[in-house]
Structure 1
Amino acid sequence: MRNAHRVETVRAAEAALMARLPEGALMQRAAAGLAAACCSLLGRVYGARVVLLVGSGDNGGDTLYAGARLARRGAGVTAVPLGARVHEAGLAALRAAGGRVSDDPFEALAAADLVLDGITGIGGRGGLRPEAVPVARAARGSDAVVVAVDLPSGIDADTGEVSGEALRADATVTFGTYKPGLLIDPAREYAGAVRLVDIGLGATLPSVPDMEALQHEDVARLLPVPFASSDKYRRGVVGVVAGSARYPGAAVLAVAGALRGGAGAVRYVGPATDAVLARFPETLVHPGPPEKAGRVQAWVAGPGLGDEPGVAEVLASDVPVLLDADGLRDLSPEAVRGRAAPTLLTPHAGEAAALLGVERAEVEAHRLWAVRELTARFGATVLLKGSTTLVADPDGAPVRANPTGTPWLATAGSGDVLSGLAGSLLAAGLPARDAASAAAYLHGLAARLTSATATPVTATDVAATLPRAWSDVTTV
């Protein structure tokens, strides 16, 4: 599990740890980890040209001390102060190690092999200051590897928002714990490859993080495993209300995802029976209405449904319900809040914007706010799809950011596969938050595996690769 903590939490943990350590020890730990990461990126340190973009405060100190360590290993290190003040002890250490200071960043950047972005730290807000913008652009336009110190300058550490100019890094070395902004787009795009350096904060951080991202072993623990006594009904039956005369393929894709999600059977209800059976003859079918179709342990409703009925009927049921696509159209909080069983909503940014009454751009710029607001309004678990898929739960558990996926997933029908997969996991007995998180992880991993061997990727490709993704997660 990758755990992330807000700035306020990190500050408190650092203060508690520093009270038990000699003065400056925590900064030296950070600098040592940062320098080691830079060495691995450079390969050959001796003779390498390193530029430090140094802001005010402790972030600048981390950068200067790391630069001193690189200088002692033979790198040519140049510090460019960009803040109102510079960490004096760090600057002295750099000079003592043979580093130099320059007021002209552009000449140094033009010849740099590696640039350390220490302009702003985790407390920075609102993008880069105007005087730092041309320097950041020159760094990004150079041939150097750009390494962000703790997080890229200009992003919001708590929300992942980028409200002004920010410096896009090739890699980020973060200290003690992940910050939420490193897990959420648009900021995540600026971070590059993220490396976590342990500086001893574990004992002083709260046991419950502010955000988290599942890894293979976490997902493996969630996935259902049949027992010797299992039959198809004990493993769970998922009902799928999807498709229409105009969009029969949505029903096929939702069923495809559901068949690969761990439930024992899939019961399809809707007008696309012929298309579904032609592709998946193992599907149980019924013309409807849903309440007449037979017992299910969870419902999926909405993909390609158009104006077909079924959403109100499944919401009236006493089993978990997943609503996607047309199932979200004109949905009222009252229709969801009155349910005794869990409800999982899976909107993309446009659908989320309609539910919230805002512009799509507002959701895309403020994804963490949007998923939390949807959860609060509807009292439901929400999986907000997008370049970063987020899962929020009404019980206040940490928001989960999905770490898998690829831009190739931005293709018609991929969301239908995801909804079927998540619904099947609901029917197999997973709580809504876990079903949504595991489904997003497998879905994104399947797309990655597919895109590694064939591009472009289609939704059918993703569904077909789900068994391989499942095996990849569960095979030690």
Structure 2
Amino acid sequence: MRSVDEVLTAFRADDIRAAERPVLARLPEGGLMDRAAAALRSVCVQVLRETCGGAYGRRVVMLVGSGNNGGDALLAGAYLQRDGAQVTAALVGGHAYERGLRAFVSAGGRVIAAREPAGEDQVRRLLEKADLVLDGIVGISGRPGLNGVSKRLSAAVPRSATVVAVDMPSGLDPDTGEIRGDYLAADVTVSFGTLKPCLLLPPAAHVAGRLVDVAVGIHEGLPPQPYVRRLTDMGVAARWPVPNHAGHKYTRGVLGVVAGSDAYPGAAVLAVQGAQRAGVGIVRFIGPRQVTDHVLRAVPEAVPGKGRVQAWLLGSGVESDANQDEAIGEALASGLPCVVDAGALAECVRQRSSGVRAAAADSVLLTPHAGEVSRMLTQLGTPVPRSVVEARPAFYATLLAQQVDATVLLKGPTTLVASPEGWLSSQNDGSSWLATAGTGDVLAGIAGALMAQGVNAMDAGAMAAFVHGRAGLRASAGGPIAAGDVAAATPAVIADLLTGRSSNTGGWTRGHRLSSLR
């Protein structure tokens, strides 16, 4: 094992197959599969050691399909059998990889033809007592959704067994992150060559478990630009703006904030707190008198009224108000970088869809949730229910980014940042306790602070989501939190990142955790 890179990357299935072809031509037959199987065996042994105390005598059931994933499982199963595990291969496909089957049988493994009724019944009984289930049913060449014996046996896997997926959980769409049909959720996914987009994109990412990235020598053949990326601790630390000794409050960035209303004064307070705690030099606040009073009581360092700024945060908690609406319109037309939230989203869509695009796409960051994406697409003439956006978040975040020529941060359990060119960032660094009122305002403030310091929209969105998530984890410690707690925890999270004290925390089911085998 080694530490992960600054950026985790995922590539589409066609790009992976193209990268594999020259490597397969150079290596002896089965060479790439042998590398994958050896790494898969190592992960399974580690999992059994952590969950059962070791591999010896443990019951392993492999669901083996006809493709390369089934071959990887059979070869790894041969190793596990020699390690002392009791391994059974349940053949759910029309045939099995012959070399892998021979190796598995030679090692003493048990084979059951699960497509036959009697065989399926045997496998069901074995699954009831399994310590580990190895999912080698289907990979990037399969269609979404399981059926037949694969569907039935996947449904029979008990919660007590740890599921390790070969390359990706069977039944998912490898490229989109969409869930269409039945699948086998994993506790651990061992991905070969590179991560697959479904491992980073919601909702599929939520059923992939812990990720283990295994290098098998195909990276040189992959495109220079990944389809999906995820920043790690090191990636955020490397990009975070740090003031130098000659700097002052103006060189650290001046963020203008148009936020809050008589109905939602707290949104303005939280947005300003998020920006201030993320390290911006000055926050200039524009809002109704009573809201301004709330802000100044909570953040006396804030400066009320208009003045020169280097970026804008617009819309958090804003309702229809002539002065606020005018300030938002002027800010959007200024050409300065903008973070656009809540009450400013509709005006941003109106301006940019009508051709008023004063700022470039990488200087405008929209921060909607799924319901707001639904409303904006409806405003643009493409009515989409919220539930459909939630089922296809990558598709609709990208569609919105293209239609308004701006960067879109779609908030959710896994936060997506989409560019008009179709590239995606995916961050899953937080706690489910973050789903509480006001945390989105803090997130917008953190993003605004970064853009005021010159960070582009794509990086600002991913970095803000990362720090916001980690601040939520730190504040929660496993229990409920309020949005103000997240803002208060932000400086310590940034300090840990910059000093190298930060680490990925979480359990087996947290999809953002990743190890690398090299």
Listed as ranges, the matches of 1:8-407 within 5 Å are 8-43=14-49, 44-102=54-112, 103=119, 104-139=122-157, 141-271=158-288, 272-286=291-305, 293-308=306-321, 309=325, 310-329=327-346, 331-332=349-350, 333-334=352-353, 337-341=356-360, 342-356=363-377, 357-394=383-420, 396=421, 398-407=423-432
Post-superposition offset of 1:91? 1.1
User: 301-310 or 275-284: which moved more?
Assistant: 301-310
* Deviation string, structure 1 residues 127-152 (Cα, Å, up to 9, x no partner): 1113322200111x252111111111
* Distance in structure 2 (CA, Å) of the matches to 1:121 and 1:340: 42
Post-superposition offset of 1:125? 2.2
* Distance in structure 2 (CA, Å) of the matches to 1:39 and 1:232: 53
SS in 1 for 2:373: helix
Structure 2 residue aligned with 1:471 = 495
Query: Does structure 1 retain, via aligned residues, the 8 Å contact 2:353–2:403?
Result: no
Post-superposition offset of 1:172? 0.8
Post-superposition offset of 1:369? 0.6
* Distance in structure 2 (CA, Å) of the matches to 1:231 and 1:461: 28
* Distance in structure 2 (CA, Å) of the matches to 1:72 and 1:254: 58
Structure 1 runs of 4+ aligned residues shifted over 6 Å read: none
Post-superposition offset of 1:338? 2.1
* Deviation string, structure 1 residues 242-295 (Cα, Å, up to 9, x no partner): 000000000000000111222210000001111001111110012xxxxxx110
What amino acid sits opposite 2:460 in the alignment? A
5, 8, 12: which one aligns with 1:6: 12
Query: Does structure 1 retain, via aligned residues, the 8 Å contact 2:311–2:336?
Result: yes
Query: Does structure 1 retain, via aligned residues, the 8 Å contact 2:146–2:170?
Result: yes
- The verdict on how the C-alpha distance between 1:397 and 1:216 changes in structure 2, with shifts beyond 3 A counting, is farther
SS in 1 for 2:358: coil
**TM-score, normalised relative to structure 2:** 0.88
Q: Which runs of 5+ in 1 are unaligned?
A: 287-292
* Distance in structure 2 (CA, Å) of the matches to 1:334 and 1:206: 32
SS in 2 for 1:329: helix
* Distance in structure 2 (CA, Å) of the matches to 1:373 and 1:294: 35
Structure 2 residue aligned with 1:289 = none
Post-superposition offset of 1:205? 2.0
What amino acid sits opposite 2:486 in the alignment? V
Equivalent pairs: percent with the same residue? 49
What amino acid sits opposite 2:438 in the alignment? G
* Distance in structure 2 (CA, Å) of the matches to 1:280 and 1:340: 29
* Deviation string, structure 1 residues 19-39 (Cα, Å, up to 9, x no partner): 110110100110000011000
- The verdict on how the C-alpha distance between 1:345 and 1:80 changes in structure 2, with shifts beyond 3 A counting, is same
Query: Does structure 2 retain, via aligned residues, the 8 Å contact 1:315–1:335?
Result: no
Query: Does structure 1 retain, via aligned residues, the 8 Å contact 2:333–2:356?
Result: no
SS in 2 for 1:133: helix
Query: Does structure 1 retain, via aligned residues, the 8 Å contact 2:55–2:84?
Result: yes
Query: Does structure 1 retain, via aligned residues, the 8 Å contact 2:62–2:136?
Result: yes
Post-superposition offset of 1:376? 0.5
SS in 2 for 1:262: coil
Post-superposition offset of 1:216? 1.2
Listed as ranges, the matches of 1:411-430 within 5 Å are 411-430=436-455
**TM-score, normalised relative to structure 1:** 0.95
What amino acid sits opposite 2:176 in the alignment? T
What amino acid sits opposite 2:253 in the alignment? G
Query: Does structure 1 retain, via aligned residues, the 8 Å contact 2:334–2:359?
Result: no
- Tell which has more relative contact order, 1 or 2 (C-alpha 8 A, sep 6+): 2
446, 449, 466: which one aligns with 1:441: 466
Query: Does structure 1 retain, via aligned residues, the 8 Å contact 2:413–2:428?
Result: no
User: 58-67 or 259-268: which moved more?
Assistant: 259-268
Post-superposition offset of 1:334? 2.5
User: 76-85 or 241-250: which moved more?
Assistant: 76-85
Structure 2 residue aligned with 1:290 = none
* Distance in structure 2 (CA, Å) of the matches to 1:420 and 1:384: 15
Query: Does structure 2 retain, via aligned residues, the 8 Å contact 1:337–1:380?
Result: no
* Deviation string, structure 1 residues 401-439 (Cα, Å, up to 9, x no partner): 113112111110001001111111111111111111111
What amino acid sits opposite 2:454 in the alignment? G
Post-superposition offset of 1:70? 0.5
* Distance in structure 2 (CA, Å) of the matches to 1:306 and 1:202: 49
What amino acid sits opposite 1:425 in the alignment? L
Post-superposition offset of 1:337? 5.0
* Deviation string, structure 1 residues 317-360 (Cα, Å, up to 9, x no partner): 12111110111136324257521352111111110111123011
- The verdict on how the C-alpha distance between 1:337 and 1:128 changes in structure 2, with shifts beyond 3 A counting, is farther
* Deviation string, structure 1 residues 56-80 (Cα, Å, up to 9, x no partner): 1111100111111101111111111
